[in-house]
Amino acid sequence: MKPIQVGLLGIGTVGSGTFKVLQRNQQEILRRAGRGIEIAMVADLDTERAKAVVGDAAQVVGDARQVIANPDIDVVVELIGGYGIAKALVLEAIAAGKHVVTANKALLAVHGSEIFAAARAKGVVVAFEAAVAGGIPIIKALREGLTANQIQWIAGIINGTTNFILSEMRDKGLDFSVVLKEAQRLGYAEADPTFDIEGVDAAHKATIMSAIAFGVPVQFDKAHVEGITKLQAADIRYAEQLGYRIKLLGITKRRAEGIELRVHPTLVPAKRLIASVEGAMNAVVVQGDAVGTTMYYGKGAGSEPTASAVVADLVDITRLATANPDHRVPHLAFQPDALADTPILPIEQVQTAFYLRLCVADEAGVLARITSILAENGISIDAVLQRESADGEKQTDLIILTHDTIEGQMRQALAAMQALPTVLAPIVSLRKEELA
């Protein structure tokens, strides 16, 4: 049988990795797919670089639309990234009847509903395992492996750059700005790291996982997103003393009132396995009603780890290319006409515990007034830690851990505490998840 013909759009880090993995493991892939997979065309603006990677093994062109227009191409792999030209090319490939593989989480998180609808109308597959957590097969786990479960929640370290920075801040006691410069020097962070450090990249991925887990449309615009730029070394140190580590988590939860979808720095008990995930590694914890807790760990980025997911999608498409479209696994795990309109809850309705750090005057009655304000807002205290003042020092840090509460109530309490004359600096508040 003639091999599946693949057109590759973009041959940067992931594209070159995909070509190398396919070349190196072609016999193993043939045995698994039952049919060969060949990259027949490569489109890249830097044609010289592309030719240096593929040699004579594939035709190299500078215009991606030449790939899409080629009737011999069965699958288009989009590795360009971004929302702009990538969206146009993916929709054009679908319109031309090509299956699509993409690693573009931003595109799917923002325009996924439109893209999946177009693919259904043409009877083609859009595969995107590489869009979330690199080489970790979390999309397949959610769509297929856990299909018997009602997913209750997902919590993931899904951005390697921020996890590297937080690991370094904890290990070396350094502030964010210092570690960011080191991460950029080592190549873990981009020259412009905004998407990573502000939580946007993680929110794209969390949005996709939430849609698959709960059978809802992708709704990135409703996600609550916070990054790590305001984190201080002092809070990482205090969290450690209390038995917690701070991780940037993408969290999505099923509640009776709706779905929580949020990305923010989070205190996690040090005894949880995910708290031990260090450096640039990724991990995703999924809670299902039948299976209980499962965790998926591995490299979330990089040339060949991400290529592993791209090639896995190509193998899936090769196996399914002749299958009736109605019998394929739906893009978002649930049948398209069965997607729910369950609302994404605003952050004020999210339910979680909190870590609070208050710089207060070191005098009698301060703690009593603060605990009184928390009680007035229906917030119960889990633990309190007070830094011992040095001789002559007139202020101290007061650390409070709360039990679960509604975010809106906490915001009211924070406003009341901040107004106290004995609270001497802006209050630091971080969310806390037990992930039990």
What is the distance between the alpha carbons of residues 226 and 238, in angstroms, rounded to a whole number? 20
Q: What is the pLDDT of residue 328?
A: 81
What pTM was computed for the model?
A: 0.94
Homologous superfamily of domain range 347-432: ACT domain (3.30.70.260)
- List the beta bridge partners of residue 244: 269
Q: Which residues are annotated as a binding site for NADPH?
A: 105
Binding positions are 9-16, 105, 190
Span 294-340, pLDDT tens digits: 999 999 989 999 999 999 999 999 988 766 777 788 888 788 888 88
1-45 tens-digit pLDDT: 889 999 999 999 999 999 999 999 999 999 999 899 999 999 999
Distance (Å, whole) CA 308 – CA 316? 12
Task: Give yes or no for residue 49 having a pLDDT over 80.
Answer: yes
347-432: same fold as 4-137+303-338? no
Task: Calculate mean pLDDT across residues 179-187.
Answer: 92
**Which residue would you say has higher pLDDT here, 189 or 40?**
40
CATH H-level superfamily of 138-299: Dihydrodipicolinate Reductase; domain 2 (3.30.360.10)
User: Among 267, 151, 158, which residue's Cα sits nearest to residue 206?
Assistant: 158
- How confident is the prediction for the chain on average, in pLDDT? 95
DSSP strand pairing (99-102 vs 75-78): parallel
- Residue 3's Cβ-count burial label (10 Å; 0-12, 13-18, 19+) is middle
Q: Which pLDDT value is given to residue 338?
A: 83
Task: Give the residue ranges of the annotated binding site for L-homoserine.
Answer: 190
Residues forming the active site: 205
Q: How many angstroms separate the first and last alpha carbons of the chain?
A: 50
pLDDT score recorded for residue 199: 97
**Other beta carbons less than 10 A from residue 433's beta carbon:** 22
CATH C-level class of 4-137+303-338 = alpha beta
Domain boundaries, the chain: 4-137+303-338, 138-299, 347-432
User: What pLDDT digit, counting tens, does each position of 99-112 carry?
Assistant: 999 999 999 999 99
